[in-house]
Every structure is written in C-alpha cells, then in structure tokens.
Structure 1
C-alpha cells in the first residue's frame, strides 16, 4: 500500500520535478565520486612521493654511515701497519715506548683533525708495563686501565668478533674517557703483530652520537623521527634522546617479529635502509602530519565539488524549464479550451516531439472549432425552422379576426370580463407572433407578459398580483422574443401553484454598466438546495443537451433550456442565466445580456 502511494505521488509530480528527482541524485553521486577520487588520487601520490623521499633520505644516511665505518676500518688498518704503533704496543725499552708515544700522538692528532667524525682514540697494549694512549680532538687525554676495559661489554664483543671490527654503543655509565661522559659509538679492534700475527693490543675509536644526531635530524619536519639501530637492534642514535641505548622492542612504534621490524599501526609511515655492517636506519613520519599539507587540496576539492553540484542543479533546473515550458503552455491552452475559448493556438517551433504535438494540437483545435460552429449553425437553423413552422401553422389574420369578433360580441352583451380576456389573448398572440420577427423590443416583450398575466389573473383572481418595472429607455432595446414570458409562466406554475392567495410576481428590467438585466421574482414555495445547485450547474455549462434527456437527468425543463440555448447562440458565453431561491421564501431568475450597437 505504501509503495502504491509513493508511485501515485511520483506520477502526480510535474514533469520538471520528475526530471530533477532523477537528475539531482545522479549529479550528486557523480560529483561526489569524482571529487573523492580526485582527492584520493592526490593523497596517494603525495604519500608515495613522500615515501620515496624518505627512502632516499635513509639511503643517503646509510651510505654516509657505510662511508664512516669504512673510514674507521681504514684508519685502524693504517695504524695497524705503522711501525711506531707496533713498537709502542711492544716496546723494547721504556725510552722507546715514550718516544713512540709522542710520535703516535702527532700522527693520530693530525688524522683526527682530518677525520671530523672521529672524536677520540685509545690504544691498549696487552703488556702491563705499557700504559694506554688516549687522544681526542684537543690532544692527549686519560682513560681507564686495560684491566678495567677487559671487564666491559665492549671488550667482550670485540673478543667475539676476533679479527673483524666490533661496533658498540658507549653510554655515560662506562667512563672510558675521563672527563667525557657523552654517548659514543665506538669501534673496537685487535691489533696484531705484523710478523707473528699475535695480538699486541686493542684500538678503540669513538664517534660522538650527538654530532651524528644533529647531522642527520636537522631539517626533519612534520614531527618525523629518525632511528639508527646497530646489528643488535639497539638504538645508537635517534631524534628523541630517550630512546638511545634501548632495544627496538622498547620503542612503542615498532614490533620486532623474527628480526623483521614493522609498525604497530597504520598511523605512521616507515622508511628503512640497511648499512653494510648490518645497521638499520629507520625514518618515521605521522600520516596525519603529512596529510595536513593536503588540507588545502581537500578544501579546494570540496569547494569545486560544491560549485559543480550547484551549477549542475541550476543547469538542470534551467534545462527542465526549457523542456517543460512548451508543455506548460500547452496545458494552459487546453484549460482555456475547456473553458470555451476555441481560438487557442500554441504555435510551437521546431520539429521534435513537442513541436509535432503542438502542431497536432493546433490542428485539432481548428477542427473542433469548425465542428462546433457547424453544430451551432445547425442548431440555430433548426430552432428558426421550428419557430417558423409553428408560426406558419397559425394563420395570423384568421386568428386576429376571430378574436376581434368574439371581443365585440362580448362588449355588446356588456360582459366586460370576457372582453378583457379576449383582448389580452389577442394582444398576446399578436405580440408573440410579431410578424415572424426574431428580435422584439423590451417594451413589446413586457406587453406580452402583461397580457399573459392579465389572462391568468382572470383565472385566479385572488391567487396572485404582479408588477412590471422598466424605464422607457430600456423598453426600446431589442431582445430575442419570448424570453421573459416562459420565466413568468414557470413562476406562476411551479412557484405559486401551491399558494391559494397573496402570491406576487415582480418583473424588473434595467441596465447595469454594459449589460441588460432581466429579473423575474416570486414569493412562491422556492427550490430545494440540491436541485437548485443542479439547475445552476447546468445553466453555467457549455454543453447542450436535448430537452427530454436534460429533464431525465434532473436538469431544467424545456422552457429554460430553450432560453439558455437561444442566449448562447445569439450572445455566446457573455450571456448568463442564474437562479436564486430559498425554500418557503421564493425564487429569483436573472438573465444577463450584453448590450451591443
């Protein structure tokens, strides 16, 4: 039932709204999908480019770290081959050790100045009588003893690696360099005798973590975070100092599954590169911060989408107006045609479906108008023929002479009542026939009515009285004959039929602006409301029916139908007949005729 109601409501909508009902949702979906796809594509492209830039940045850092590690290894190899280093770690005499220490100090100091990434260097000899040599960027410094160093994690890792260099993180809790507690990345490597290949000592090179962090994190934007992990997944350096020295599992951004680092959620972007010695460079960047830069694109996408939508709605409204305007014109023309205006022409241009419809409609109206004109002529001719036939059946001169003879005989016998009736009847017939004329003056028509009422008054002396009121200027106007008498006869027969005395009929003819008004009133029994409505509906319609058919359908009788048809034929839709009545009070019939020259 609900579905049927919706279908009915849709079918009752104007064509313009039907077009918009389908077009606007389609337009909205199209514009929305297009705008979303454009933004989605732009977002993915931006994220992809940023990810590529991140990978390039981490690759660059990895390459630099590889370069630093190679330089450190080359540096140790160089020192390994120096005879002064060999003799310092295994001196013959104490004086020789002191001399070599000075020589090494000069060489290493110059090398440290050229290698800005290396902050400090320590040489440990396995011999107890050879003190360690510690040098930093400022010169000779002090360090812990070899026995203390052997207890550290760094020595144990170097021991495991044997010949290969060991990279470890030196934090502030291990005081390798006295007076310098900064976190460092240290390279620990055994130095062997160049002849016997026996271990002579250990070389330790320190790289300042803070300088590395400043070097690689400066310039990072959008809250990006950099992590450098060694081969044990320990944070060597990072943007945030709190993570230095901690394992990757301690960082909430990452999860380490089978040594494969991945993100814990999709809110971050990860770029990862690995160095030759197994270190990892990780760059994290929040997606939200990256997408903030896309807000401008998002806003413009929404603005353009909204503008396209509203422009599409306006355009669809305009198109629907152009399409439905001829149909609206056709509908209005059809309404006026229903109201009786048969001069309607829409005259559509174009040869499309609407143009063909308009051309067919114009042709149909012309044919209907021609057919109605033909019917009017036929009706008029038929009425005139009937009237002339009726007039021809009565020989006027014979009738007048006969009535005159009866009138004079009644006068001779002094029967004035009969004489008056005969005279009134003679005048009634004379005026009603009027020598076959179709139009008579108002005065003649009122004389005919007066004679008719005089005859009826003689029949019912106490039943009714009457009054006729019309100015002399009105009496000269021409109207169709026998227009008022049928109304008076209806008032007498139907209105006053049930009244025994004190009946009254009033006829008033006067002008109102450009119309002539004929009013016939009585104080009779009146008309029922339903029947009165039915009578007025019929009198206002433009449809003509045969009198017998009309009476069967509860419409006016022959007299009223004859009057209204004659008025429509002579004056068209400008003439009107209305009936006013109230049960038990009386009835008033008004005829309005347009005045013309």
Structure 2
C-alpha cells in the first residue's frame, strides 16, 4: 500500500490527502459534538432523575411513616392498654377475653391502613391476632426472629419482602415489628411484647412503580448490601451485590454514578429512605436507552460526512489542477531541456515556491550553458596540451639523436646496447601513449621517466647519473597521476641544468606521501634557475610564460585537479635545483 501511494501522480496524492483531511476534520467535529452532547444529556439526566428520585423517596417515606403511625395509634387505644395491664401482671386468665376485645382494634387497623395483610401481637402471656386469620403455630415468631429480638437498639424494625411464615396462605408481605412505646402504660417497660404488622408486598411495589419517571427507568428498593427489599416486575441487576457497585454507594444518603456491566453502561441514582436508613431506592437506566434519540444525530452526521466527502472529491480535482498548473508548465520545460533545448525559460506571475523554483531553474540553465562552454574550452585545452606533451616526447631532435646513437652503436658492433635502446624507446612510446588515456599510475610514470633517462645516458656518455627514491608502498605506486609529468622536468635538467658542466650531473626522482597528497620531486645538481621568478609566474598562472614545458605541466595540473594541485621551484646553483609537484591522492 505504501509503495502504491508513492507511484501515484502528485495530483492524485493531493486529491487523496485533501479528501482524507476533509474526512478527518468532519469526523473529529462530528464525534466531538456527539460525545459532548451525549455527556451533557447524561449529566442532565442524572441530575433530573436524582430530583425525581428524591421526591419518590419522600412519597415512599410518607407511606411507610403512615404504616408505622397506624399500629402505634392502635397501641394508644384503651383496649390495648387493658391487655398490656394483664401482660404486666402476668394474668393469663383473661387471654380469650382480651383476644375478643382486640378484634376491634385489629379491624380498625385494617380499615385505617388497607395495606395491612395481618397483625400479630406477641406477649409473654400469649399471641393475639385477628380471629379470621389462622396462625401456623404459636411461638413461631420468637423462633423466626430471635436474632433481631436480641438487639435492643431499635423500636421499629422492617423486614424485607418474604412469604408470610406466621399465618397460613403463604402471601408475600413486608413486615413491621414494633416494640411498645416507653411512655405507654405509665412508663413501665414490657419486655417480650412485640407488635408485628404484615403489609402487602404488592401495595409497596405499587407505591414504588407509580412514581416511575418513564418506562426506560427501573426502580429498585434495596438494602445497602444490595439485597432487594421486594422483587420487582423486572429482574434486578446481578451487579447490585458487587463490591465496585456498592463502593460507589458507600454510606452516602444519595448520589449518582455510571456503572458498566457486561452488556451496557448503566446510569445509577440512589437515595436512602428516612424511615429505614438501611433501605434505599435505586433507579437504573441503560445509557443506550437514554441516548437512543442521539442515533438520529449520528445518522445525520454520517450523511453530512458523505456529502462533504463527495463535494471535497469534486472540488479537489479542480483545486489540484489549479495548484499544479505552474508545476506542469515547469515539467514540460524540463522535458524540452531533456531534448537539449537549453533556450527555454520559465515565466510565472506567482511568487510562490513554484515561482522561486522556476527562477532557480532559469538560473541553473544559464549556469549549464556557461559550464558547457567552459567544459568545451577546457576539453579543447586539455587535448591541445596532451598533443603538445606527446609532441614534446617525440621531439625530433631527441628522436634524431636516439636513432643516430642506435645506428652508430649498431655499426660499432654493440648489439647488446642497441637492443637495450630499442627496448627503452619502445617502452617510452608505449608508456607515453598509455592506450590513449590521460591518467596513468605512479609506477608507470616513473618507468616512463626512467626509460627516457636510459636513452639519454646512451646518447650522452658520462653526462649524468640518476636514482629513483620511492617508498615501499604498493598502494602509493598504484596511485593515479597524469602521464608525462616527470619526463619534461628530466629533459630540462639534462638539456639546461647540466650544460657546460665539467663533471657528470646527477638526477634524483622522489615520490612520497604527504598526508592526502602525493609529492613528486625532481632534483639535479646543475647550474640552477631563477626559482623566485618561476614561483611568481606560477602564482600568475604563467602569464607571458617563457618555459613551454613548465607551462604545459602547470596547465594540465590546473585542468585536471584545479587548485588542489601545485607546482613549486627551489634552486641553489651548482648545489641543488628541485621541482616539486603536489597532486591529491583522492
């Protein structure tokens, strides 16, 4: 995919990137707007539900307070007082009489509070209840609630929804257990006396569900440990008893939070009841249900994205064409330059990056034309100097002397020396021609100079001796150098340096590495030269030169190496004269 993208045209890449950028911008804006709206709706929904839930708790508290007040009103009756008097006096003789007397308060309790299913008054002298109700067995109350009765800290105790285990019928009830008020019966304490009132579970469920905010919200009456007080018409969440869920509630009286289960995120509101702090009303709404209307907004955002992408795709073609028009013009000019048309020039009314590139393109073409002209002149100069160097090598005077010497030695019967001279002359020409290449190796250049000196020794007996001083460095001997650099210098030493000398001269050729450069030194003990004048002519690039051989060497060095090469002269007449050539090794 990556390489396929690189193979696309610039126009197509601009179109793709433009569409992608449009898509990303619209997507980011749409998602941000959607998430922001969803968060606002969620926050406002939690606040609204908390307000309504608090009102529902107030209504439920009011109903449950009335359920507590009604039994206490019964305890204030004269009949109840007579029964408690017999209980205090442990008088069991009037049990059935008291049972008959209590039928009226029991009936009045049911009339005042229609939610009452049954009532049971437990005393040390016996249990009292409405005779139309049938108890399962006597003494069952103390057996079932012995743990709760051990706790003396409460006067009112609610028991969560359950099947009635005291009266026959197995009806589901919520039980209220009351201890007598301490200001009753002249403040006498009556241990072992309890009034238990069973309220219909359906009644409390209806009180809860009639306060539902809407059908998407479920209300649960729970204990703080997550146990349902009464079952509802819809299943409770399994997470009600989970530690993370209960941790969000803690010991707070009310609050709201978001809880994620296996299916969806749930929006939870809770509020504790006033009549029983251990009970709380919890509302649950699925986040998906709350944000259901937002689905239309999502589809709207999707439609807008598609429309914008189509418009962006259509507009990107026009935009890329407009932006790339100067670039296409520049491209066409480059094609013409590729076909060797260097007269073209780029023109644009824009001063942007492409316009700057076009100006640089024009400048580059002008420089190319100048360079072509300079290279043409340089090549012509190099060819001219190379031809002249070869002409210097086959100087007619040198060739005449050599051939004349060969003839004379041949007639004198010195066939061995004749053979050596012919071999040297052959090697001299072969190394000088170098298969038509301008560059040779240091080893071949030294061999070329040595063959020339061997021939000159044969032509001029006892005129000079020579020596080659080269370090044992195979890499240095293979270094590339210009051909025919040393021979003209050796020729100057023989023809001019040793002229009119009484004793034989001596030529030394040295080659050594000097850092990243190669130094070639040609020394002789001849009559010398004006070194300062020649060094000055080198600095002025031999303007009005008087030595053709030196000018030829210097010009070839400049043409091939530029300022990286140098030519220097040192001279002490009759002692030592030295020419130093420095050329780069790389």
- TM-score normalised by length of structure 2: 0.46
Query: Which of 1 and 2 has higher RCO (CA within 8 Å, sep 6+)?
Result: 2
- TM-score normalised by length of structure 1: 0.46
